[in-house]
Every structure is written in C-alpha cells, then in structure tokens.
Amino acid sequence: MGFTAAVITFPGSNCDRDMAVAIEEITGGTVHRVWHGDSDLPDGLDFIGLPGGFSYGDYLRSGAMAARSQIMQAIVAQAARGVAVLGVCNGFQVLTEAGLLPGALLRNGGQRFVCRDVALTVGTSQSLFTNGYFKNQRITIPVAHHDGNFHADAATLDRLEGEDRVAFRYAEPVNGSQRDIAGVLNDAGNVLGMMPHPERMIEPAHGGSDGRVLFESVLRAVGVAA
Amino acid sequence: MKVRVHVSLKNGVLDPQGRAIHHALEGMGFAGINDVRAGRLIELDLADDVTDAAIDEMCAKLLANQVIENYRIEKVS
C-alpha cells in the first residue's frame, strides 16, 4: 500500500489544497481531505497535515477554536501512535493550542503581517521531517503570518535546544520569535510545527524547491514505496 | 448569573499590542505612561447551577492559554 495522508480542513483554512497537492506530487501517495467536524480519520495513515489559514477567523487566539474541534481527538490519538503530524502556520498554532507542541505563538514583534520569502537554517537533520537536509543548511521558504512570534519559558526553550527539537530557525529577524525558532518537534519527534510554508516552495515555478525536501524526508522515513 | 473573565498576558510575555498602544498614546501627547498591557474581557451569562469548578475549567481549557496568559474570574451578579 502506498503512502497515505490526510489533510484537515477547518473553517477558514486556506492552504489545505496547496498542502494536499504538494503531498500528492512529491510522495505519489493518496491524500484524504478530512473535515474538522469528522470524528474519525481514515485507516492506515502515514501522515497528517494541518494547513495554514485563519481557522475561525483567528477568534479568541489563533488556532484556539480549531484545537478544540472534533477531529483533534483522533489526531491526538494518531500522534500518540507515532504517525507523522505536520502543522504549518495556522496548523502550528493549532498544535500548540492543542498541547501537542510546547509554547505559544504571539503577535509578531513588529506588529505587522509578514509575507515574504525568508532564509532559514536547519536546526537538526535527525528527524522524520528533516533527514534530507543537513544541519545548519540554509534554505529559503516563504512565511505569511501575523502571529508567528514563538514564545515559551526559558526552561522549555533550553529543553527544546538540549533535546535537538528545534527543526528550523530564522536566519534573519522575522517576527521576534525567541531564539529565532521557526519550527519545533514534539518529544517523540513525530509532530512538527513550523510557521514557514514548505508546500509553497516545491518546484522552480515557486521560486525554489527547498520545501520539497521536507516531504521527501517524511516519505523516506516512513519507508513506504510511493 | 453574570461572570466576567479577565484574561491578561503573564509577566515577561512580550505584548506588541500594548507597546503599540503605548506609542500611540505618547504620540497623542499624553505623558507619564510607564507601560501598557492589553488583555481581554469575556462576559459569560450562565445558569445559576453552573459550578465554580466548571467556570474554572472553561477558563483553563479554552478562554485562557496558560502558557502565556493568566485569568481572573469575577462574579458580577
């Protein structure tokens, strides 16, 4: 059986199709589109994607409402079983609000919505999502967010760094994130949240293909023939 | 029963919104502003038999994100 993925759509998601297309094109697998109000995920998933967007209009806090939606219980259960879960932008906010990742994403330090390509450095190549990069590799991936300012207490930040769980850092000031953190892994290493959009950088027509490596890494790590 | 939930950012958490308000007030000519922190007020209209424990749970599980925010529950009537 080939690579099998699910991409979740919340009310206000707007990068769900982009993520589904990226996964399909790069892995050659099957992508199920799942509505937030569903209670079950398809069987035999290798990968779950939480897309960017503005779920529930960012009411209360970005990602707060989506994190309490019906499908999240199934996602928490699959994450506990080791299924790869990627949250991009609003998806990252949802994962922190759901408690699957530490920290929180505050309003950008400069108050402005930031929408441009940014330089990142790869924090670790020892993960499901980053094994195709090398450590400290400089890559370019676009961001588009208002609330991407990663915050956690000092002990949590020290633990993330000590356990090699910072997947990506900004190579330049972008949003005021503590220790320039752009993406973090959970303690088991199978859940990644990141503000930059790898699915928007997968072919030369996008201006580069640095994001493609992330999906190839997952495919390789999961070990399923495409 | 009317309940007000006051949500505020924890000490040490950067508040860009508060900072922008601070700058705007100074730009308007107001002096003596040491700091501005912006929070959120949520008003709940609840049945009288809703317990204190349930109100606290609402705050802890949704209304405030305790990674970055504190909350205070005020019973109005």
Residues of B with Cβ-Cβ distance to A103 under 8 angstroms: 67
The pLDDT score that the predictor gives to residue A19 is 98
Q: Closest approach of chain B CAs to the CA of A173, in angstroms?
A: 15
- Work out how many domains chain A is built from and give that number: 1
Q: What's the half-sphere exposure (Cβ side, CA atoms, 13 Å) at A90?
A: 27
Check A103 against B67: CB less than 8 A apart. yes
- The Cα of B57 is separated from the nearest Cα of chain A by a number of Å equal to 14
Question: Which chain B residue's Cα is nearest to A108?
Answer: B16
Angle at CA of residue A50, ends A60 and A136, nearest 5°: 105
Residue (of B16, B1, B22, B13) closest to B70 by Cα position: B13
Q: A156 by DSSP, 3-state: which?
A: helix
pLDDT at A101: 98
User: d(Cα A4, Cα A45) in Å, to the nearest integer?
Assistant: 5
Q: Which of A158, A132, A148, A160 is nearest to A222 (CA)?
A: A132
Among chain A residues, the shortest Cα distance to B68 is held by A104
What pLDDT sits at residue B12? 87
Cβ neighbours of residue B33 closer than 8 Å, sequence gap 6 or more: B22, B25, B26
Residue A95: the pLDDT is: 98
User: Do the Cβ atoms of A210 and A139 come closer than 8 Å?
Assistant: yes
d(CA A125, CA A128): 9
For A25, phi then psi, to 5°, come to -70, -40
In sign, the C-alpha dihedral spanning A52, A57, A63, A65 is: negative
The answer to whether the CB atoms of B16 and A106 lie below 8 A apart is yes
**Per-residue pLDDT, A128:** 96
pLDDT digits (tens, 9 = 90+) for A14-55: 999 999 999 999 999 999 999 999 999 999 999 999 999 999
SS (H, E, C) A10-58: CCCECCHHHHHHHHHHHHCCEEEEEECCCCCCCCCCCEEEECCECHHHH
The type of residue at A5 is A
Closest residue of chain B to A154, computed from CA coordinates? B12
List pLDDT tens digits, range B4-55.
999 999 998 989 889 999 999 999 999 999 999 999 999 999 999 999 999 9
- The predicted structure's pLDDT at residue A225: 54
Which secondary structure element, helix H or strand E, spans residue A168, and what is its range? Answer: strand A166-170
Binary contact (A151, B68; C-beta < 8 A): yes
Q: Provide the CB-side half-sphere exposure for B5 (13 A, CA).
A: 21
Q: How far apart are CA A59 and CA A69, in angstroms?
A: 14
Option in A61, A107, A152 nearest B17 (CB): A107
- Please indicate whether, in this complex, the C-beta atoms of B67 and A110 are within 8 angstroms of each other: no
Q: pLDDT at position B16, please?
A: 87
CATH number for the domain formed by residue range(s) B2-75: 3.30.1280.10
Cα A108 to Cα A97, A115, A169, B22, distances in angstroms: 17, 12, 15, 16
Identity at A50, one-letter amino acid code:
L
The range of the structural domain enclosing residue A155 comes to 4-222
**pLDDT score, position B14:** 86
Does the beta-carbon distance from A107 to B67 stay under 8 Å?
Answer: no
Query: What residues of chain B, 18 to 77, have a C-beta less than 8 Å from chain A?
Result: 19-20, 61-63, 65, 67-68
Q: What CATH number did the domain enclosing A68 receive?
A: 3.40.50.880
Collect the ranges in chain A with pLDDT lower than 50: 226
CA distance A27 to chain B (A): 36
